[in-house]
Chain A
Amino acid sequence: GDSVTQMEGPVTLSEEAFLTINCTYTATGYPSLFWYVQYPGEGLQLLLKATKADDKGSNKGFEATYRKETTSFHLEKGSVQVSDSAVYFCALSIGAGNMLTFGGGTRLMVKP
């Protein structure tokens, strides 16, 4: 079946460091790909998305490029802030409907 694999956390960085969170997927067709963020005590928020190969999603300084050849959708940010501390989930959606398949999540901790 379809699945998403993320790097395990926690990832601990100093403020202004470069961030990469790896995400790879397995899918039987051509999925749409998403990154969601979950701040403490809150629901999931859509961070960015890409719906076809080579698309780049971007939002709030975060970027991810849909790489079909490596089945990857790695999340990057050039300079993280303390306020970016949260759990990040990679997800895919495929076929009819918008059912999401999530990875296990990666906790990011940014220290001042």
Chain B
Amino acid sequence: DAGVTQSPTHLIKTRGQQVTLRCSPKSGHDTVSWYQQALGQGPQFIFQYYEEEERQRGNFPDRFSGHQFPNYSSELNVNALLLGDSALYLCASSLGQLAYEQYFGPGTRLTVT
């Protein structure tokens, strides 16, 4: 049973560019949440997708957007990259919006130069 998978593992972008990160949830899970983890800090909630709609959103600008597909996989898009967007981006999946048990992927390390 595959857990949460994320791609790519690492990537390097230039300031002002756009990036798309991808997440496949654990088998059977229908809810995907995205978190940003800056170096040496705890993860911060970006948004949650359920039934292909954004259901909750943290304190992140509109440059951060997402999408959920019918197979429950998800994408995180970040436009107009800033140096401060450099972080580990974590995807978490769960069965339902209210589930206590969330499974995290290994993350995508984004470096903005």
Contacts and interface: CB of A to CB of B under 8 A. Distances in A.
Contacts of B106: 41-43
A101 interface: yes
Contact of A51 (B40, B45, B55, B100): B100
A32 B100 contact: yes
A36 B37 CA distance: 14
A101 B90 CA distance: 14
Interface residues of B, number: 28
Main secondary structure of the interface of A (DSSP, over half): strand
Interface residues of A, number: 25
Interface string B52-85: 0001101000000000000000000000000000
Nearest to B91: A43
Nearest to A44: B104
Interface of A: 4, 32, 34, 36, 41-46, 49, 51, 89, 91, 93, 96-105
